[in-house]
Amino acid sequence: MLTVPVETQILFAGILFFLGLIGLLVRRNLVFMLMSIEIMFNSAGLVFIIAARHWDQPDGQVMFIFILAVTAVEVAIGLALILQVYHHFKTLDVDKINKLKD
């Protein structure tokens, strides 16, 4: 039986979330930014699972399944947009993609 205090588990999820946030803010490559968003989604789901175990309710796990669906849609659309951006600008550096019209 896991006896790790729930605060430590939440702390773990928080560290992962902030790693994702740091990645989103620091990296200038669109693929890396999308990856960082994935990390943040995942840590949010982790908090739901921790809460589900803490309160002994299945609702948290249901919410994780919804997060999974939202993430799948977000990744599909995001990668399609990245492909279009790459075809248009021939780069993925967001510092160079700062004009609405070339």
Partner 1 sequence: MDIFFYIAAAIAIISTIMAISGRNAIHSLLFLILSLLAISVVFYLLDAPFIAALEVIIYAGAIMVLFIFVTMMLNIGLEQKQEKQWLNPRMWIIPSILAAILLADLILALRNMPTAVAGTQLIQPKQVGISLFHTYLLAVEIAAILLMAGVIGAYHLGSQKKKVLHRFLEKK
Q: At a CB cut-off of 8 Å and minimum separation 6, what does 87 contact? A: none
Q: Are 95 and 28 in contact (CB under 8 A)?
A: yes
What number of other Cβ atoms are within 10 A of residue 71's Cβ?
16
Identity of residue 13: A
Residue ranges in 11-30 that form contacts with partner 1 under rule CB under 8 A: 11-12, 15-16, 19-20, 22-23, 26-29
Q: Does the footprint of partner 1 cover residue 68 (CB under 8 A)?
A: yes
Please give the residue ranges that form the binding site for partner 1 (CB under 8 A).
1-9, 11-12, 15-16, 19-20, 22-23, 26-29, 31-32, 34-36, 38-39, 42, 46, 49-50, 52-59, 61-62, 64-66, 68-77, 79-84, 86-87, 92-93, 95
